[in-house]
Chains A and B, each alone.
Chain A
Amino acid sequence: MSDDSIPQLRGYDDASLDRAFASLTADLERGAGSLNGADAVEQFRLEWLGRKHGRLKTVSEAWLKTAPPEARRPLGQRFNGLKERIEALLTDAAAGKHRAATGAAIDVTLPGTRPQLGAEHPIVRTWHEAVRIFAAMGYSVGTGPEVETDYYNFESLNFPPNHPARDTQDTLVVVGQERKPLRDRLLMRTHTSPVQIRTMEQQPPPIRLVIPGKVHRNDAADATHSPIFHQVEGLCVDEGITFGDLKGTLDHAMKAFFGSSVKTRFFPSFFPFTEPSADVQISCIFCGGKGCRKCKHSGWIELLGCGMVDPAIFGFVRQKQPAYDPEKISGFAFGMGLDRIAMMKYGISDIGLLFSGDVRFLEQFA
């Protein structure tokens, strides 16, 4: 007997059996794809398990009954496997696992409707990161005015009037200051360091403070310099604070900022308000220290200035807070450019982008 609802079985050897059953299984799975709704399920059941014309019945009639005795076992196993698969598909269908699709199919590869989220500014993002890193080391946050007096911006930080050190920070000055005594003249703060003095005047040691803020210098703008920029300043004052503590703190902070494989190195520098003073370099975050264009092939990138608080600073502060006795306490301070760190971390090539409000630039931080 032959029936075109089943494939032709060319022999009872394994290869022929496999070929025939593979063809049946392919038909079965194709049919299973459209098990939507009760009618379809019933039709599927009849097609395969129907008592009179079901395909299994046909297989049984056409192949099983005529099989030679030695072929019954391999044939029977394959037959039972097929039957179990059909029953499993019908059980799933009965359990509602194959609900009908309703409505026109959609193209799921089209873009989703994204919520339009604003992006935190990269400087603010870096600012928050700095605050978080230092907060974990016990640092509170401080701020101060952007328009400062000469006293807080320079004099109390040990920049005497007419001192060459003032030349390094070209200052933007508020109009009409000539008549005032030098110490009261108003200017745009050139660094966040005045907040060190203001805070120490307000509270006795110990102090651990991190001071983020906007600063201004009368510098020409180019791709890496802006007359408007941001710093984060740090101050730690207590009994027994050492130069090693300064090194350890900044080494930790740089690892927190740039990853634990970053190394730091310190070398002498000069700031009027710290002694000893240091510049800090980190191993190049782009090449890992091997040398590349970004680090000018040195393997190092200069990132911040720091030092032990100069006893003269405590001298200025003691006028208001006698507890700052340099014989009893010591401390360190550091400052770094938030803009520069943001530019490095996010690969920003032009500092001007930070202050342009360019949506195409900002939305990359969303």
Chain B
Amino acid sequence: MNILSAWLRSYLPQFDASDRELADDLTLRGIAVEGVFDAAAPIGGSLFETDITTNRVDAMNHYGVAREAAAIYGLTLAPLDTTLPAAHPGAGHPVRIEAPEACGRFTARILRNVKIGPSCGIVAERFAALGQKLILNAVDASNYVLFGMGHPTHAFDLDKIEGAIVVRRARPGERLKTLDGIDRVLDADDVVVADEKKALGLAGVMGGWDTMITPETKNILIEAAWFDPAVVRRMSRRHGIHSDASHRFERGADFHAPPVASALVSQLILKSRGHIEGELVDVVIPQVLARVAARRSIAFSVARCAELLGRTSDGPGITDEVSTGILHSLGCTLAPSAEGRYSVTLPSWRLDLEREIDLIEEVARVYGYNRFANTLPTFSGTVLELPNAPKQTAVRELLLSAGYHEAISSTFCSATDAATFAPQPGVAVAMDNPLSEEAGMLRPSLVPGMLTMLAYNLNRNVDDVRLFEMGTVFTGSPERVDEAQWLAFGATGRLRDGLNSSRALNFFDLKGVVEALTARFAARSVYFDAFPVASGLLPHWLNPARAARCVVDGSTVAYFGELHPDENASRKLRQPVLVGEIYLDRLFRHSLRQPSTRDLSRYQPVRRDFSLVFPDTVHWEAVGSALSGLAIAELQEYRPAEIFRDPKGKTVPAGHYSVLVSTTFQSPDRTLRDEELHAWSNSIVSTLESLGGRLRTQ
């Protein structure tokens, strides 16, 4: 809210520091002055733009801020002048509180023969400097008092009130046109200020249209009341009205303020013309008074305060005198109970103060946070990493070294994407108030986010992209949402390894990453397989011709491969992309592999290559298994060194491929003899022939 330094100074006659100094000191004590501007003449001084935290409703007005300044500088705060001219005889307006849980206090004062017109004088000048719109003097008076001392009041056109004021629950379906011109339908949770016939206003939130002050108004009833914070908050939220009044009531107003506010408003209105009729009618609910204003005093120990705050780096430190002086300046009454101990009676305007710790905060705040010494606590104990941290590091390092940039995408996805990419149908969880339609679901997979990021790059002419994301996926139901750590990786474009050398990324680039990754973990078996389209086992976002799953010790840890061309087309991706998802939660069930070494042989290895032609139905998996099945201890390594298919079917028949199988033999303790190599070669050839292979003649 905006604060005028000149208005503050009117409450602090002894104050002589500069506005700039005041702004800094207020900021460092919790009244954050975020901007200092010159205030318009004739008010002069400065306009402070302040940001006051929600707990400090007492400081959301000039008098409250002046009270803070008085505490900071040890000044005396001028009391508010509430003197009123003598009242003409009268009974006052009758008031009944029928909803005591919602309204703890209601005061009504009658002003007669008033003159309604534009405000002038100090009200007009200060409103101009604050940038506040003027309405009519009686309405402006109410607002002026709100800005001045913080308590909301309301002025009714008395002649439109029929009978006694009744504060009651609204009747379900009851209607009220509020000051903003909106016709509202009320329910029993609403509390209204009413007369005998109708609702006049929403209690503590907004007045009613029909009883508002107009230039024709002759007689006024001034309401100054105290409403329950929770009740006001509920109404304010239900009706979507955030008014100055509701803002203050829902944060806890000062129970003792209504008569003061009523007097101040009356003074201002009477300046033009008019008189008071009868004494102030002041209805107080004793139980609320006891609960809110006459709160129990709390115990305060100077030693406890000093112990929690620690050493100070300047000033006298947290002594008895300093701490009690600060609390006193804030409006507390302190009665000593023992050496260094006090029983503290709390000011009625500080409903945020409830416990000793709140008082300790006040002491620290007013003393100045930056006057406490910076210390470091002693420490004994151990520092623990998260159990999966080394595994995450291993995975991250591997992907980074493979040239994949780490990315972070949205936690949410569209309902369509959730349906396409969820691991099982129906497990994705929707949001009640999504950020947008495209973010309606908690992501059940990282793949849609990955595809969005790949598309983002392709749409910006970045054609060579490799990305990965480690993040949380969500599945379950509104009853229970399960989280898992997964990893998605995506690649598109070409791999460049020199000036004139590049090639398109392919399935085997992804598979190599998965192989290297699984190799970092201790597992008995790792295998890859593909599925026929009809099996339905492979996620349908992958192209079944060029995709695989990876199984580690019987559990599926990854699906990866070429994105299905249909999916590619629906996303308008202008080149093929490769994508995969790794279930880190499953992979991390395995410990990281501990490297173990074997002695290196001193004897010469021998290489033998075999060129064979196989039907396409024979996969490398079968070839490899057959070779391992030979159980030749000296067969150290075998790998496909070259694969060739002839589209014309000349050198290699259609439906067949030729493969150059490269093998290496080595013994740890002797040089291999020709005869044994010959024997092994023969058994390799015959085994592979039995698979359907045919040795190629050179």
Give the number of A-B contacts (CB < 8 Å): 240
Q: Chain A's nearest CB lies how many Å from the CB of B637?
A: 26
Interface-central residue, B369, B396, B460, B462, by most chain A CB under 10 Å: B369
Q: A317 → chain B, closest Cβ, in Å?
A: 16
CB of B101, distance to nearest CB on chain A (Å):
15
CA distance A363 to B498 in the complex (A): 18
CA distance A216 to B474 in the complex (A): 14
B429 CB within 8 Å of chain A: yes
Q: Is B308 an interface residue (CB 8 A)?
A: yes
- List which A186-230 residues lie within 8 A (CB) of chain B: 186, 188, 206, 208, 214, 216, 218, 227-228
Docked pose: A95 CA to B251 CA in angstroms: 92
Given contacts A141-B389, A176-B432, A268-B365, contact A118 B374 (CB under 8 A): no
- Is A260 interfacial (CB 8 A cutoff)? no
A176-B478, A228-B411 as given contacts; A248 in contact with B376, CB under 8 Å: yes
**In the complex the two chains form, is B406's CB within 8 Å of A137's CB?**
no
CB <8 Å contact, B396 and A120:
yes
Complex contact B55–A270 (CB within 8 A): yes
Q: Is A244 within 8 A of B478, CB to CB?
A: no
* Interface assignment of A30: CB less than 8 Å from any CB of chain B: no
CA distance A138 to B377 in the complex (A): 10
CB-based contact A174/B432 at 8 Å: yes
Chain A residues with Cβ below 8 Å from B418 are none
Q: A244 is contacted by which of B54, B372, B429 (Cβ under 8 Å)?
A: B372
**Contact in complex: B433, A362 (CB < 8 Å):** no
How many angstroms between the C-alpha atoms of A145 and B452 in the bound complex? Answer: 25
The reply to whether A275 and B389 contact each other, CB–CB distance below 8 Å, is: no
Is B200 in contact with chain A by the CB < 8 A criterion?
no
Residues on the A chain within 8 Å of B32, using CB? 267
Q: Mark A159-171, 1 if CB is under 8 A from B, else 0.
A: 0001011011000
A308 contacts chain B at the CB level, 8 A cutoff: yes
Residues of B contacting A241 in the complex (Cβ-Cβ under 8 angstroms): 377
A276 touches B376 (CB 8 A): no
Let me know if A319 is at the binding interface, CB within 8 A.
no
User: Which one of A168, A266, A330 contacts B54 once the chains associate, using CB atoms below 8 Å?
Assistant: A168
Which one, B230, B450, B468, contacts A118 given CB within 8 A? Answer: B468
> Is A103 close to B, CB under 8 A?
no
Q: In the complex, which residues of chain A have a beta carbon less than 8 angstroms from the beta carbon of B380?
A: 206
Query: How distant is the Cα of A119 from the Cα of B407 in the complex, in angstroms?
Result: 9
Distance from B15 Cβ to chain A, minimum over Cβ atoms (Å): 21
* Chain A residues closer than 8 Å to B468, beta-carbon distance: 118
Contact of A267 among B30, B360, B400, B454 (CB under 8 A): B30
Encode A25-59 as 1/0 by CB contact (under 8 A) with B: 00000000000000000000000000000000000
Establish whether residues B453 and A172, one from each chain, have CB atoms under 8 Å apart when the complex forms.
no
Question: What residue in chain B is nearest A207 (Cβ atoms)?
Answer: B381
Task: Give chain B interface residues in 366-411, CB to chain A under 8 Å.
Answer: 369-370, 372-377, 379-386, 389, 396, 399-411
Given A214-B411, A276-B361, does the pair A208, B402 have CB atoms closer than 8 Å?
A: no
Query: Does chain A have a CB within 8 A of B130?
Result: no
- Decide if B9 is an interface residue (CB 8 Å cutoff): no
Residue of A137, A140, A165, A355 near B408 (CB, 8 A) is: A355
By a CB distance below 8 angstroms, the chain B residues around A269 are 30, 53
Q: Kindly provide the distance from the CB of B384 to the nearest chain A CB, expressed in whole angstroms.
A: 4
Are B400 and A119 closer than 8 Å at their CB atoms?
A: yes
A359 and B405 alpha carbons, distance in the complex (Å) = 7
Choose from B28, B55, B435 the contact partner of A172 (Cβ within 8 Å): B435
Q: Given A177-B478, A186-B478, do A358 and B234 touch, yes or no (CB 8 Å)?
A: no
Tell whether, in the assembled complex, residue B462 and residue A359 are in contact, meaning their CB atoms are under 8 Å apart: yes
**What are the residues of chain A within 8 A of B20 when measuring CB–CB?**
none
- Tell me whether A138 and B483 are in contact (CB under 8 A): no
Which residue of A116, A188, A244 contacts B310 across the interface (Cβ within 8 Å)? A244
The size class of the interface chain B forms with chain A is: 35 or more
Q: Is B432 in contact with A252, judged by CB distance below 8 angstroms? A: no
| B379 near A146: Cβ-Cβ < 8 Å | no
State whether B435 touches A218 (Cβ < 8 A).
yes
Which one of B377, B408, B410 has the highest number of Cβ atoms from chain A below 10 Å of its Cβ?
B377
B434 interface residue per 8 A CB criterion: yes
The number of chain A residues with a CB under 8 A from chain B is 80
Q: Is A325 an interface residue (CB 8 A)?
A: no
Pick from A121, A138, A251, A268: contact of B374, CB below 8 A. A251
Among A110, A227, A242, A357, the residue within 8 A (CB) of B309 is: A242
- Closest-CB distance, A138 to chain B (whole angstroms): 4
Asked if residues B432 and A267 are in contact (CB atoms below 8 Å), the reply is: no
**Residue ID in chain B nearest A230 by CB atoms:** B408
A-contacting residues, B447-506, CB 8 Å: 450, 452-454, 456-457, 460, 462, 464-469, 471-472, 474, 477-478, 481, 483, 495-499
Please tell me if A282 contacts chain B, counting CB pairs below 8 Å.
no
Which chain A residues border B109 with CB–CB below 8 Å? none
Contacts of B496 in A (CB 8 A): 116
Partner of A143, one of B379, B386, B442, B454: B386
Q: How far is the CB of B675 from chain A (nearest CB, A)?
A: 44
Evaluate whether A243 and B364 lie within 8 angstroms (CB atoms) in the complex, with A140-B385, A362-B407 already known.
yes
Tell me how far the C-beta of B575 lies from the nearest C-beta in chain A, rounded to whole angstroms.
14
A175 touches B430 (CB 8 A): yes
Q: Assuming A146-B411, A310-B357, A356-B453, is B374 touching A244 (CB within 8 A)?
A: yes
Is residue A311 within 8 Å, beta carbon to beta carbon, of the partner chain?
Answer: yes
- Which of A143, A186, A236, A242 touches B481 (beta carbons < 8 Å)? A186
Determine the residue in chain A with the shortest Cβ distance to B366: A268
Given contacts A172-B434, A311-B355, A355-B409, contact A141 B385 (CB under 8 A): yes
Are A172 and B433 in contact, with the CB atoms below 8 A?
yes
CB within 8 Å for A355 and B410 given contacts A141-B389, A186-B478, A242-B309:
yes
B29 at the A interface (CB under 8 A): yes
Which B residues are CB-close (under 8 A) to A357? Answer: 405, 407-409, 450, 452-454, 456-457, 467, 469
| CB neighbours of A268 from chain B (8 A) | 28-30, 361, 364-365, 369
The answer to the question of B154 belonging to the interface, with a C-beta cut-off of 8 Å to chain A, is no
- For window 9-56 of B, CB contacts with A under 8 Å fall at 27-30, 32, 53-56
Verify A118–B385 contact, CB threshold 8 A.
Answer: no
Confirm or deny: A238 has a beta carbon within 8 angstroms of a beta carbon on chain B.
yes
Flag whether A14 is at the interface (Cβ < 8 A).
Answer: no
**9 residue pairs A–B, Cβ–Cβ below 8 Å:** A172-B434, A174-B432, A174-B442, A208-B383, A228-B410, A252-B374, A267-B369, A276-B364, A356-B453
- Besides A146-B474, A354-B408, 4 other A-B contacts (C-beta < 8 A): A123-B408, A165-B54, A168-B54, A247-B373
10 nearest A-B residue pairs (beta carbon): A357-B453, A244-B310, A268-B30, A242-B310, A176-B478, A270-B53, A248-B374, A276-B361, A116-B403, A118-B400
